[in-house]
Each structure stands twice: as structure tokens, then as C-alpha cells.
Amino acid sequence: MPSTIARPHRRNACDFAAWSDLKTAFETLGSDPTVKLIVLTGAGGHFCAGDDVVAFSSVAGEAEKDVWRARIQECYAALQSVPKPVIAALSGVCVGGGCSLAMCCDFRVGDSTARVGVPVAKLGLVYPTIQLQRLAWLIGASNARRWVYEATLYDAVESYRVGYLDALVQADVVEAAFAFGADMGKAAPLSIAGSKSQLNAVLAGRVEQERERLDAMVLRADRSEDFREAARAFAEKRQPIFKGH
């Protein structure tokens, strides 16, 4: 299922309504059992230029700005917790909050036009800690320091070299992202959801705090009809048909 950020007049920079719409879209797609794979992309040749700084600067009070900032983090959290594979398809700019959106996806596929960066030092800002943590996990501490300190945009080749991009393609990037995730979309949904939750907890250092929930997901998969279907398919030498229960 493709999901598109559609504010091409702003290179898909997101205002409050766009962050809210994205949050709702991730929650809706995450709960839809017919959706097996999600590809997130942007309209008009760009992925996302991050937060709409012009719209944000027009917000009057600090309380309202705090609500805006909180909505961005809620959007990231909704994306990261989608219990199925999510792949970012990157063309054009992927900057700031757009870089963060892509990092909250499971994988990133880019074409040769992709330009990625975190130029907060040019805005006098500090990247939120949780996003810097994700960047360091993804490309390593030294590269993360360079990206944040230099505050420039890196081309697709460099982004692939440091590990930000999982694949660099010459074809249509959305089609390539679906091809990248084709086998994932055929996998058992309970297995994907459980493994994703486990990996999120491992990376966040929250395994012990979430042990009960994670163990319950393992047990549910052990007792699932999908597991029994996989055993039948193995015995019958055919591909299993998973239904997520």
C-alpha cells in the first residue's frame, strides 16, 4: 500500500494538519489486516523537506508551538509502531523532519536524485535526542556527528555508503521499494509484528520494561493458526497462506 506526502508546493514540508494526517494514516494502515506492506513516499519528486518552518513561525504562543512539536513526535511514534514492514521511497530532498520520518521506517530505498541531511545547525536548532539516537544507530556515531555538525545535504551515493539507504536504484523508486519488500509482504503478519516490536524495544533499551508484552506476542504466534498453516504447507510442499491469526 503506497502512502504519499502530498504538499509538493512546499517540497512536502509538513504543517500541523499534514503531521496530523500522517499520524492518522499510519494508525489506519497499521490496523488494516489487508495491508501487508507500506511504502511511504512524497509527491512531486521530493520525499519531505521536514517541518514547514514558515507555517510554524506563524504560530503565536509557546503553548501552541509545544502542541505542534508534540504532534510531530506522535507522528513519528505512530509510524515506528506500525506492526508491518514500512519502506521509505526517497527521491529529491529528505531533510530534517523528513530524514526523521524515513528513519522511523524499517528500510529506505532511494534513487539518484535523493539528497539527505539534518541541517539544524544552519537553523540554530538542536535535533531532538530520540532522532539523533536513531541517526547514530543507523549510520554510526562518527557519521552522525559529521552530518549534524556539517549541516549539509548528502547525495544518494554517500547516503548509501554510510548506511542510511538500504538500496540505491536507477528504476522508479516506488516500484523498487515494493520490489524490495515483496518477500516481506508475504511473510506471517504475527511474526513481522512480533519481531518488529522486539527490535524496537532492543534499540530503545526497553526490553525489560516491555518483557510481558513481547513475551505475549511470542506466545500468540506459537499458538496461531498461521503457525499451523506453515506446518501444513511445509508437509505439503507448498507456500503457506497467512491470515494473521
Domain identity same for 169 and 193: no
Strands, E, within 132-176: which ranges? Answer: 153-155, 167-169
CA nearest 75: which of 50, 49, 109, 92? Answer: 50
Which residues have CB under 8 Å from 172's CB, separation 6+?
Answer: 111
Domain identity same for 200 and 117: no
Residue 244, domain member (yes or no): no
Domain identity same for 117 and 170: yes
CB 25 within 8 A of CB 74: no
Pairing of strands 107-111, 86-90: parallel
Residue 144, domain member (yes or no): yes
Domain identity same for 145 and 27: yes
Give the other-Cβ count within 10 Å of 211's Cβ.
11
The number of distinct structural domains making up the chain is: 2
Residue 224, domain member (yes or no): yes
CATH number where 89 lies: 3.90.226.10
Dig out the grid coordinates for 107 from the structure: 528500510
Percent of the chain with pLDDT over 70: 100
Q: How far apart are CA 6 and CA 55, in angstroms?
A: 16
Task: Give the model confidence (pLDDT) of 69-126 as tens digits.
Answer: 999 999 999 999 999 999 999 999 999 999 999 999 999 999 999 999 999 998 888 8
| Structural domain range at position 215 | 188-235
- pTM here is 0.94
Domain identity same for 140 and 204: no
Task: Give the model confidence (pLDDT) of 161-185 as tens digits.
Answer: 999 999 999 999 999 999 999 999 9
Instruction: Report DSSP letters for 72-111, one per residue.
Output: HHHHHHHHHT-SS-EEEEE-SEEETHHHHHHHHSSEEEEE
Residue 240, domain member (yes or no): no
Q: What mean pLDDT comes out for the span 44-72?
A: 92
Mean pLDDT of the chain: 95
